[in-house]
């Protein structure tokens, strides 16, 4: 009995001891997690954190698959010096240091490399930096150096991949493509479609070993899902043409900025969108998207909306008479002038529109809309035309049109508001919003939503399609639309755009010249020049808006913006509409039928060929490497920029020229096929670092 009691006492003591320990442990757990949780979590987070893994961001492509924005891979190589055996390290250290010095001569000497590696081995550094910002070719070279070529468990090599965003076509549509910047707002397509482009949201456990955060596990074990690819509607050839022509005009007139947008009439697809601003150093950059973000008074390009409203509301026809009063008329307490003295007392709507008479258009609008109920009717008609709302294009930052409302803005409304609105003042639009009206007129009254992206893909799988979208099936009557089309054709045939005509093709449009500081009478006058229209005039394929902001010297829309429009039309016709097969009035093929297509190569070779076969050409370039295009019944020789530090675009070159250019940049060239270069393995604009490049010929 005594022994049993003694055993029970011992058992109770043991159980009690365990219970006491359990209570202490429970108390400590509660204390650490509840009362001191924040304190210890903060300390833990100082040295160990879950950090996001940078996935391969999706690419942005032009409609033909040319990359507009791509993530170029770079590599960082480190060494776990703890895993390397002494005999391997000591036996190959000299060779490794020699190779590293030869690979990176601007860095450490051979002896400095040896000292650096010994020192880090002594510190048992498991994440010793060898090199970073390596290209694929450089990574492959370094990975085959002594010691490093062994497996990661013997040679200690650890390779981490990361990406840098590149735009192979540099400034072309740069602002529209946008920017993917760390710790900054994303803009353009990069921002709007970021959720698709950025890839899967995954994290990797990292520990802090001064001075770096290093992975707890091998970086190569993590391969986050890449982002989706965005395919745009941009035609890179049209984009290049629009950019070049706009830049040339901005330089010629020392303008502050400019914008060109080309839209496909039937679908609303944006084929080109270029926005250039002066950088203060004599250059022009894509620093702001004027096409969607800059509101300004449109001036005479808005007269299309007024004329269309008058015809659709039944107040006027093309032959309706209107008093021009020789180009000067007083509306209430303000006097309006036409841009030039013409001496015409009376004309019809057609004539008033063609000569861009401010007085004529304003007078008609004043008669019918500047009365009780008329001002609200005018606003309702503008709303019917889609002119009170933004277009909804897939870009962050599109501004809403500014249009006065006679009821909501009663204090700002006056007796002069309607006549001034009628010729494009006291209201504001972006270039894209004005273009959408012209595109709708070209499309027989059917309004399409302007769009920039056609589809999103993950590899070969289509994630989402963006087909053309109809906003309004008919914005006006068929007679009114036909009348508007006749007016726009008349401007180019007989009116302010007549000097822009070509005998080989036609287009329709309207000039615009806007005084931008008319409220400040004492200031030197400043203007915006514009031209909006579509081409060809019959069965139009494309519509286009050109705006040149604050040109110096000349400022009329027909003089400054009109030639940009015409030059783009000429080149796009030759490139896309097969003008080479156009037939003249006599039924014979024009001379351009025998001109070759676009080519790239050595200028002297082209000159010899053209002279030998009797093809006329216009040489606009002093450089050796050029692009040649059929242009106005002759071949145009223009510059082809090749930079020493970048992989050039050799597509369109013959094999001999392409190999010569690439090898002179230190690249190792491999050929496949025969003929001209159709594709290249390294994207244009990538850094040229003596890597291998394969070119495919067709």
Place of tokens 């009376």: 346
Question: Which residue reads 């893994």 in tokens?
Answer: 53
Last residue of a domain, one of 11, 36, 51: 51
Residues 254 and 210 in one domain: no
Residue closest to 415 by CA, chosen among 370, 453, 455 = 370
> Does some domain include residue 585?
no
How many Cβ atoms sit within 10 Å of the Cβ of residue 106? 4
The distance of Cα 648 from the centroid of its chain, to the nearest Å, equals: 20
Residue 604 lies in a domain: yes
Last residue within a domain, chosen from 51, 66, 82: 51
Tell me the three state secondary structure of residue 636.
Answer: strand
Check whether residue 60 and residue 10 sit in a common domain: no
Q: Count Cβ atoms below 10 Å from residue 320 Cβ, excluding itself.
A: 15
At residue 48, the pLDDT reads 62
Instruction: Determine the pLDDT at residue 586.
Output: 36
Mean pLDDT of the chain: 85
41 and 58, same domain (yes or no): no
C-alpha 347: how far from chain center: 45
Residue 195 lies in a domain: no
Confidence of residue 687 (pLDDT cuts 50, 70, 90): confident
pLDDT digits (tens, 9 = 90+) for 598-648: 667 767 777 777 776 667 777 766 677 777 767 656 676 766 666 667 888
Tell me how far apart the alpha carbons of residues 466 and 9 are, in angstroms, rounded to a whole number: 82
- Whether pLDDT at 102 is above 50: yes
Q: In sequence order, which ranges of 275-384 are alpha helices (DSSP H)? A: 290-293, 303-312, 349-354, 358-369, 374-384
* Same domain flag for 549 and 420: yes
638 located within any domain: yes
Give the list of residues 6+ apart from residue 308 with CB closer than 8 angstroms, or none. 385, 441, 476, 480, 481, 483, 484
Over residues 508-514, mean pLDDT? 97
- Nearest Cα residue to 617 out of 602, 625, 609, 650: 609
pLDDT for 31 beyond 50: yes
Residue 210 counted as domain residue: yes
pLDDT confidence tier of residue 113, bands split at 50, 70 and 90: very high
The answer as to whether 483 is a domain residue is yes
What backbone torsions phi and psi does residue 679 show, to the nearest 5 degrees?
-150, 155
**What pairing do the DSSP bridges indicate for beta strands 270-278 and 284-285?**
antiparallel
Under 8 Å between Cβ of 590 and 607: no
Interstrand relation of 461-465 and 257-264 (parallel, antiparallel or unpaired)? unpaired
Structural domain includes residue 197 = no
Average pLDDT of 670-697?
79
- Rounded Cα distance, 544 and 572, in Å: 12
Would you say how long the chain is, in residues?
698
Looking at the fold, whether 309 and 451 belong to one and the same domain comes out as: yes
Residue 612, domain extent: 598-697
Tell me how far apart the alpha carbons of residues 583 and 311 are, in angstroms, rounded to a whole number: 35
- Dihedral class, residue 460 (left if φ above 0, else alpha if ψ from -120 to 50, else beta): alpha
Answer whether residue 26 shows pLDDT above 80.
no
Please report the pLDDT score of residue 587 as a whole number: 36
Residue 136 pLDDT = 78
CA triple 323-328-331, angle to 5 deg: 80
Question: Is 493 part of any domain?
Answer: yes
Q: In the numeric block, which tokens belong to residue 366?
A: 């004043």
What's the structural domain count of the chain? 4
For residues 547 and 654, state if they share a domain: no
Mean pLDDT of 413-417: 94
User: Quick one: 16 and 88 in the same domain?
Assistant: no
Question: Do 168 and 70 form a contact (C-beta atoms < 8 A)?
Answer: yes
Which band of pLDDT confidence, cut at 50, 70 and 90, is reported for residue 579? very low
- The Cα–Cα gap between 490 and 509 comes to 9
Residues 438, 434: Cα–Cα separation, whole Å: 7
Helix (H) or strand (E) holding 363: helix 358-369
Strand partners, 617: 635
The C-alpha atoms of residue 188 and residue 11 are separated, in whole angstroms, by 75
- List the CATH number of the domain containing 120: 3.90.1310
Gap between the Cα atoms of 290 and 292, Å rounded: 6
How many percent of the chain have pLDDT more than 90? Answer: 54
Q: What is the pLDDT of residues 448-490, one digit of tens each?
A: 999 999 999 988 899 999 999 999 999 999 999 999 999 999 9
Instruction: Give, in order, the Cα–Cα distances in Å from 427 to each of 299, 306, 423, 440.
Output: 9, 13, 10, 20
Q: What is the mean pLDDT of residues 392-413?
A: 94
Check whether residue 660 and residue 603 sit in a common domain. Answer: yes
Q: Which two tokens stand for residue 609?
A: 């060929």
Residues 39 and 75 in one domain: no
Would you state the pLDDT for residue 45?
53
- Per-residue pLDDT tens digits for 241-292: 999 999 999 999 999 999 999 999 999 999 999 999 999 888 999 999 999 9
At 653-668, the pLDDT tens digits run 777 777 777 877 777 7
Same domain, 90 and 120: yes
Q: Indicate whether 611 and 681 sit together in one domain.
A: yes
Instruction: Give the helix ranges, DSSP H, for 597-693.
Output: 603-613, 655-664
Distance in angstroms (rounded) separating the CA atoms of residues 374 and 377 = 5
29 and 79 in one domain? no
pLDDT reported for residue 593:
43
pLDDT of 198 reads: 84
Mutual angle of helices 110-122 and 86-103, in 10-degree steps: 140
């Amino acid at each position: 009995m005594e022994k049993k009691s003694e055993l029970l006492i011992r058992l109770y003591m043991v159980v009690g001891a365990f219970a006491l320990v359990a209570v202490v442990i429970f108390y400590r757990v509660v204390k650490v997690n509840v009362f001191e949780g924040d304190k210890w979590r903060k300390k833990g987070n100082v040295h160990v954190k879950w950090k996001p893994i940078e996935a391969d961001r999706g690419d942005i492509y032009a409609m033909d698959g040319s990359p507009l924005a791509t993530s170029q891979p770079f590599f960082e190589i480190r060494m776990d010096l703890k895993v390397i055996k002494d005999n391997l390290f000591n036996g190959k250290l000299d060779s490794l240091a020699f190779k590293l010095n030869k690979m990176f001569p601007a860095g450490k000497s051979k002896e400095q490399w040896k000292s650096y590696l010994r020192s880090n081995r002594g510190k048992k550094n498991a994440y010793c930096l060898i090199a970073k910002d390596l290209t694929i070719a450089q990574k492959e070279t370094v990975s085959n150096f002594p010691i490093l070529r062994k497996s990661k468990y013997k040679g200690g090599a650890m390779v981490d991949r990361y990406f840098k965003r590149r735009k192979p076509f540099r400034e072309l549509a740069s602002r529209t493509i946008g920017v993917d910047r760390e710790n900054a707002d994303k803009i353009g397509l990069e921002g709007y479609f970021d959720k698709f482009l950025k890839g899967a949201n995954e994290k990797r456990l990292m520990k802090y070993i001064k001075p770096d955060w290093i992975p707890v596990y091998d970086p190569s074990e993590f391969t986050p899902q890449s982002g989706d690819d965005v395919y745009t509607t941009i035609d890179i050839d049209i984009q290049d043409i629009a950019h070049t022509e706009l830049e040339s005009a901005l330089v010629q007139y020392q303008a502050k900025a400019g914008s060109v947008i080309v839209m496909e009439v039937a679908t609303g697809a944006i084929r080109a969108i270029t926005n250039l601003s002066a950088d203060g150093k004599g250059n022009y950059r894509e620093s702001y998207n004027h096409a969607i973000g800059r509101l300004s008074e449109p001036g005479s390009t808005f007269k299309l909306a007024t004329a269309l409203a008058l015809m659709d509301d039944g107040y006027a026809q093309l032959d309706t008479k209107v008093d021009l009063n020789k180009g000067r008329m007083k509306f209430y307490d303000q006097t309006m002038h036409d841009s030039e003295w013409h001496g015409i007392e009376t004309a019809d709507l057609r004539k008033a529109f063609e000569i861009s008479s401010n007085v004529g258009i304003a007078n008609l609008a004043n008669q019918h809309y500047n009365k009780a109920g008329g001002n609200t009717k005018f606003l309702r008609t503008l709303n019917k035309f889609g002119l009170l709302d933004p277009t909804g294009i897939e870009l962050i930052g599109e501004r809403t049109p500014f249009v006065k409302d006679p009821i909501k803005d009663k204090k700002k409304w006056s007796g002069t508001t309607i006549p001034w609105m009628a010729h494009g003042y006291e209201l504001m639009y972006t270039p894209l919003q004005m273009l959408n009206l012209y595109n709708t007129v070209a499309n027989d009254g059917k309004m399409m939503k302007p769009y920039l992206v056609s589809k999103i893909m993950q590899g070969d799988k289509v994630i989402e399609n963006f087909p053309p979208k109809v906003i309004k099936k008919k914005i006006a009557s068929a007679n009114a639309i036909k009348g508007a089309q006749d007016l726009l054709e008349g401007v180019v045939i007989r009116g302010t755009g007549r000097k822009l005509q070509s005998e080989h093709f036609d287009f329709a449009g309207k000039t615009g010249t806007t005084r931008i500081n008319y409220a400040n009478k004492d200031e030197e006058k400043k203007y915006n020049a514009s031209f909006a229209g579509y081409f060809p005039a019959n069965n139009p394929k494309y519509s286009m808006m050109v705006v040149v902001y604050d040109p110096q010297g000349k400022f009329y829309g027909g003089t400054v913006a009109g030639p940009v429009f015409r030059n783009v039309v000429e080149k796009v016709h030759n490139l896309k509409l097969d003008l080479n097969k156009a037939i003249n009035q006599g039924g014979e093929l024009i001379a351009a039928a025998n001109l070759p297509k676009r080519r790239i190569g050595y200028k002297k070779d082209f000159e010899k060929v053209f002279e030998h076969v009797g093809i006329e050409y216009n040489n606009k370039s002093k450089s050796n490497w050029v692009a040649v295009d059929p242009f106005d019944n002759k071949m145009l020789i223009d510059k082809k920029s090749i930079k020493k530090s970048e992989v050039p675009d050799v597509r369109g070159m013959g094999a001999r020229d392409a190999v010569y250019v690439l090898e002179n940049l230190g690249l190792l060239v491999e050929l496949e096929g025969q003929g001209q270069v159709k594709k290249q393995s390294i994207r244009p604009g990538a850094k040229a670092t003596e890597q291998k490049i394969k070119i495919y010929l067709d």
